[in-house]
Amino acid sequence: MRRRVSLASLFGAALLVLTAFAQPASAEGTSKQLTDVIPIPVDAKPNPRADFRLDPATVIVADRNARQVADYLGGLLRPSTGYRLPVVSRGGGSTIELDLGPTAKVGDQGYRLDTDRHGVTIRANTTDGLFAGVQTLRQLLPASIEAKSVQRHARWVVPGGSITDYPRFGYRGAMLDVARHFFTPDQVKLYIDQIAQYKINRLHLHLADDQGWRIQIKSWPNLTAHGGSTEVGGGAGGYYTQDQYKDLVAYAASRHITIIPEIDMPGHTNAALSSYAELNCDGVAPPLYTGTDVGFSSFCVDKDITYKFLDDVIRELAAITPGKYLHIGGDEAHATTPADYQTFMGKVLPIVAKYGKFAEGWNEIASVNPPVTTVPQFWDTDGQDAATAAAAARGNKILMSPANKAYIDQQYNPDSPLGLHWAGYVEVQDSYDWDPATAVQGVSENQVAGVEAPLWSETITDNHDIEYLAFPRLAGIAEIGWSPQSTHDWNTYRERLADQGPRWDAEGINFYRSPQVDWK
């Protein structure tokens, strides 16, 4: 595809030379191509004679239903252009138009983007689609569009032509572990802004683990007062009040991202067990834990108080979570017998349903024959798990996060200053070169819900660290989740990835300059 586009633009460049005097506006030309975008669009038809140049008189046209996306777009473009870019309900001249209405082929998350010399029109059936189109437009502009101050000498040219684009999978997620190290609401919001530009539409927050409980539960206040008071390494930890969590949910929604909260259970529960002695089988609260071992804690499966507690937790969490999914963990329950695990999940899954939600869980949950609405999240490394395949055969959709590909907390190589390596070293090409439709034996394309890039936080403490592990790998996972498999090609991907470097520099993102990419 890339070569076809290159030929087209060469042809276009020749035309530009021939017509430069007759059509001065065409001389605005850009070296950018319509496919120089991550995730690569489904279909692009370039028209090199139809480049558009943003100017001080450009307006953003949007009706009331598209206003939120228009305001977001204006907020992106104003700092670096210095243009007013007012949002108006109708206008002629130089325009960026956001048009919400029936749009063929693109479904409920896709969009059409048409650029000619007068402007850009993004059309979609939904505001999610418009927002996705805005992310594409952003990448079609020069990298300096991301600068936070006015770039006086920049030429804000968008390449001419049409894009029709829609995702391969509806679920394209990132996960942030706020339990091993706590991240403040502002730190999470920055990550939300960063992942939104790659059309990620789910943020899974790992809110409770052995080292910390991070969400206020009003009926069990010691969970946060005590259980939230530390983290890996013994730092002060922290937690979100329900109001702060609701604000995070709303902020994510403004970036067209749904928050999926996780309370891991029955293992990974030391912070809760330490907060309430009665949750322990022996009635004795263990001390808080600040190490990085796994698999040593378990809720007491035989006690009624365990399910009273979980009913309260799930009820309060469901009430402040508008998304349909609650993640109940279920991984590495090595301190729970298999029989107890079955009993436990058999009691907890109905509580999730009682509060109107569907469950997500790590792939171990597939072993309990959960309802078909439950989404097992595959995190193994060997591409096979009989229980996951059996769940898929029963109708459960599987979320793909194979740890040796999609775990963006793994080190890139033995010298990486951050990250773990229990699943291997995961260089940029490793994280990009896989196919969700063949990642797990017995699970095919139509049984896949989507992909997710988990970022565990044993070794990271701030946004600088988050960025180093997430970028560039998150961009590759996002492309795998959005773009058709027919476009998958490391050699052309690494060229498009190189183009992201100046963007990340302009955004202040601390990315890993992998030697596998010829960074610009």
- The set of catalytic residues is 332
Amino acid at 358: F
Nearest distance in Å: CB 362, ligand ACM: 4
Angle at 74 between CA 71 and CA 79, to 5 degrees: 135
| Those residues with Cβ within 8 angstroms of residue 12's Cβ, 6 or more apart along the chain or in another chain | 29, 46, 47, 48, 49
What is the radius of gyration, based on Cα positions, of the chain?
Answer: 24
| Residue 341 near ligand ACM by CB under 6 A | no
Could you say which of 99, 209, 210, 331 contacts ligand ACM (CB under 6 A)?
Answer: 331
| Residue 335 near ligand ACM by CB under 6 A | no
Is residue 222 within 8 Å of residue 215, measured between CB atoms? no
Nearest distance in Å: CB 467, ligand ACM: 21
Q: Which CB, 146 or 264, lies closer to ligand ACM?
A: 264
Number of residues that bind ligand ACM (CB under 6 A): 4
Nearest distance in Å: CB 480, ligand ACM: 19
Instruction: Compute the residue count for the chain.
Output: 520
Residue sitting closest to ligand ACM (CB) = 331
Could you say which of 43, 247, 332, 495 contacts ligand ACM (CB under 6 A)?
Answer: 332
Q: Which CB, 1 or 420, lies closer to ligand ACM?
A: 420
Q: Which CB, 331 or 465, lies closer to ligand ACM?
A: 331
| Residue 362 near ligand ACM by CB under 6 A | yes
Nearest distance in Å: CB 423, ligand ACM: 8
Amino acid at 494: R
Nearest distance in Å: CB 398, ligand ACM: 14
For the chain, the distance separating the N- and C-terminal CA atoms, rounded to the nearest angstrom, is 22
Is residue 374 within 8 Å of residue 344, measured between CB atoms? no
Measuring CA to CA, which residue among 499, 394, 501 is closest to residue 447?
394
Beta bridge partners of 172: 451
Q: How far is Cα 489 from Cα 487, in angstroms, rounded to an integer?
A: 6
Q: Which CB, 355 or 425, lies closer to ligand ACM?
A: 425
Could you say which of 111, 191, 309, 379 contacts ligand ACM (CB under 6 A)?
Answer: 379
Is residue 124 within 8 Å of residue 132, measured between CB atoms? yes
Q: How far is Cα 439 from Cα 400, in angstroms, rounded to an integer?
A: 8
Q: Which CB, 341 or 362, lies closer to ligand ACM?
A: 362
Within residues 98-157, the interface with ligand ACM by CB under 6 A covers: none
Nearest distance in Å: CB 324, ligand ACM: 21
Within residues 398-437, the interface with ligand ACM by CB under 6 A covers: none
H or E stretch including 204?
strand 202-209
Q: Which CB, 52 or 362, lies closer to ligand ACM?
A: 362
Nearest distance in Å: CB 474, ligand ACM: 17
Q: Which CB, 103 or 297, lies closer to ligand ACM?
A: 297
> Does the bond joining 41 to the residue before it have cis omega, within 30 degrees of 0?
no
* Other beta carbons less than 10 A from residue 65's beta carbon: 13
Q: How far is Cα 81 from Cα 513, in angstroms, rounded to an integer?
A: 28
Within residues 3-32, the interface with ligand ACM by CB under 6 A covers: none
Q: Which residues bind ligand ACM (CB under 6 A)?
A: 331-332, 362, 379
